[in-house]
Chains A and B, each alone.
Chain A
Amino acid sequence: MITVKCFGLISVDCSIRQLLVKEGTVRQVLNEIRQSCPNISEQDLIEAIMFVNKQQISGNKRFSVVLKAGDELALLSPASGG
């Protein structure tokens, strides 16, 4: 299983801190998250800043990254200013 962790406004607005999903590409994992958590919008996920095992992934190729069992995907809302 993949551990997905949500931070920032994604976490607050959708009341989700963490969930477990099946292995797959980031795109597949994001689709599964949407099915598990209908109050997360597609836009929230597209604009999230993503880290896989603490390494940032960006660009369109991020959706094709394959997540293996035991990986951690972190989704952070883009704004964090303070």
Chain B
Amino acid sequence: MVGYAGKIAKINLSSGIVGDYLVSDQDRELFIGGKTLAAKVIYDSFKSKVEAFSEENIIVITTSPLTSSTSPCSSRFNVSTISPLTGLLVSSNCGGSFGLHLKRAGYDGLVICGKSKEKVYIDITSEDITIKNAEHLWGKNTGEAQDLLGGKGRGKFVIGIAGENMVRYAAVISEERAAGRGGVGAVFGFKNLKGIVASGKENIEISAQEGFKKHNQNWIKKLKSHLLTGEQLPKLGTAGLVSMMNFRNQLATKNYSRGNYDDFEAINGETLKQDYTIKNKGCVTCPIQCGRVVKAYGKEVKGPELETLGLLGSNLLNNDLQSILNLNHLCDEYGLDTISFGSSVGFAMELNEKGLWKNGLTFGDCSLLEELVKQVATREGIGDVLAEGTKRISERYGGSDFAMNVKGLEIAAYEPRAAQGMGLGYATSNRGGCHLNGGYLVVLEGLGLNVSGKIASGKAAYTIFFQDLMEAVSAGGTCLFTTYSLLPEVLVKNPNQSLVRFINKAIPSFSWLVGLLHNHTSLMNFNLKSILPHPYSIKAVTGFNATIGSFIKTGERGYNLERIINLRQGLKGSDDTLPKRLTSELQRAEDADSQVKLQGMLKDYYKIRGWDDQGVPTKRRLKKLGLEDYGV
């Protein structure tokens, strides 16, 4: 099949048997790759609810048609499983080079099932897949484990000590990039799987090589010239968001009790750049280069993203940027998701402050945090409790109203009481409290465009559109930052022009049009390469007749399939909610609009999605998406 390696390996860790997992050409065209194809595999593999820590649970690693092509920002790959934090489907996306090497080894993906009795890792080449003893790797952190797995030219994907100890938010690391969210690393650890190494020299056939090459050149040119991807992200990285979020009351502060931090200038992107950044860098094939190189413990290491600055900085009232750089590096080394770790610590600090759990942790006192990373990873002392995440901590000590998770997954650093659409996104995301899977509407609500974050009306349609767009972009295999080309530069660059201000005010009123297009994607059965380059890339690589309409529909198909899996896992419509702090407490006493008006938005959301009032996709909607044979 053009654009694909053509094989998915099925590796049974219980029996040691390696075989093929068959995917039809029709399913490749329906689900493309990445997280949507992984959802299809997981749906087909289970008949009923599966526990995260059980032999029945599987790990599905998927690449996409654009992985290992010369498409910009296309080194992404996906890992999906049942999450030990949420009990639901989790898909975690990673920018390390493992996916590229896996595809060069001749595999579009891996389905890993069963549980090994011994500590093992998987070695993949074009010739063979071997399950090998990993006793010498066990107890090693991610940097050392990758070093021990071989030299350059091989893609590695490993857990650290946190994954070995089944910390519920353990990550899996490739180079310095993390598949961070949802605890995929804990499932690796449960299966006694330390990691995977892959390499090969297979070439993937491209359907329309010449057209693809020219298209990529134009796409790279556009990314380099756009204000967001050509200026802001290369110069400041995602850390550049801290200041604007703070002024807009969108920066999670003191366990989300506030949206701004008095000391934000000590931890913002400008300070990171001026005082700590050595150079910027990016993933393989990326012209944006949003990554930072900084120093921690005397070594040059990856710098923190916005979410890390928020969760380990303002959220803990930690104004020591060097300590955040150290903590970020330690979390990568031990293999911990910085968002869930920071949120769990912030929650513990508030429990301590309120006298609900005397644990010695205090906002603003970050002297214990570096030791705490180790304690969480090794499950020693209070680390054993923190390793369970905010939902389970609240079940033990109370405080569920301010345990900042959705469905068990800790929400990211964007405080949604000043970004209503982001609030709806968190509440409805299939992953739980994830900003990206939630649609990242905050980019319209003050971080790219200037639509008011206070307004709830009209946000449902946009949230759905962006959720499905992100889903499709992930399926295709490119970084989500490539979607910024959708935001017209004239609107981004000129926020004070009268016409632009009028458009920003009018955007919520056009939600009917967005809803109409979402429900009639055939109206978009064409390609506009300069606005949304992704469908044409998929068409050029695979030969599929991909258009903007079919691309968005693929995203919607994936989103609905993930929803069905989650319903089968026991999800209820009532789980589409937020911690009470966000829906019932005013962020600012003087502003009656400073809470998330979830119920009204949720009603609109279900209606536009074609779901019933319990949040279950209707048969009519599933049929429209080619999912008529799928159900709870």
Contact = CB atoms under 8 A, between A and B. Distances in A.
A76 B448 contact: no
Greatest chain A CB density within 10 A among B228, B239, B240 is at B240
B241 interface: yes
B227 interface: yes
Contact of A76 (B247, B260, B305, B443): B247
Contacts of A17: 270, 274
A5 B264 CA distance: 13
B409 to A, nearest CB: 20
A80 B305 CA distance: 13
B588 to A, nearest CB: 11
Contacts, number: 94
A82 to B, nearest CB: 3
A54 to B, nearest CB: 7
Nearest to B271: A17
A47 B496 contact: yes
Greatest chain A CB density within 10 A among B243, B244, B481 is at B244
B343 interface: no
A46 B494 CA distance: 9
A47 B450 CA distance: 13
Instruction: Tell me if B's interface is mostly helix, strand, loop or mixed.
Output: helix
Contacts of B448: 79-81
Q: Contact residue range for chain A?
A: 20 to 34
A56 interface: yes
A19 B3 CA distance: 55
B585 interface: no
Given A7-B268, A58-B501, A78 B235 contact: no
Given A59-B501, A82-B233, A8 B244 contact: yes
A49 interface: yes
Nearest to A51: B247
Contacts of B227: 78-79
A49 B232 CA distance: 15
A8 B493 CA distance: 13
A79 B232 contact: yes
Contacts of A25: none
Interface string A38-82: 000000001101010010101110100000000000101111111
A27 to B, nearest CB: 13
A13 B233 CA distance: 13
B243 A78 contact: no
Given A17-B274, A79-B231, A82-B238, A8 B495 contact: no
B240 A46 contact: no
A11 B232 CA distance: 11
Contact of A8 (B240, B496, B498): B240
Given A8-B236, A9-B235, A58-B496, A80 B244 contact: yes
Contacts of B274: 17
Nearest to B497: A47
Nearest to B446: A80
10 contacts: A7-B243, A8-B236, A9-B235, A60-B498, A78-B493, A79-B448, A79-B492, A81-B481, A82-B238, A82-B306
Given A12-B273, A79-B232, 6 more contacts: A8-B269, A9-B235, A49-B244, A49-B247, A79-B231, A81-B241
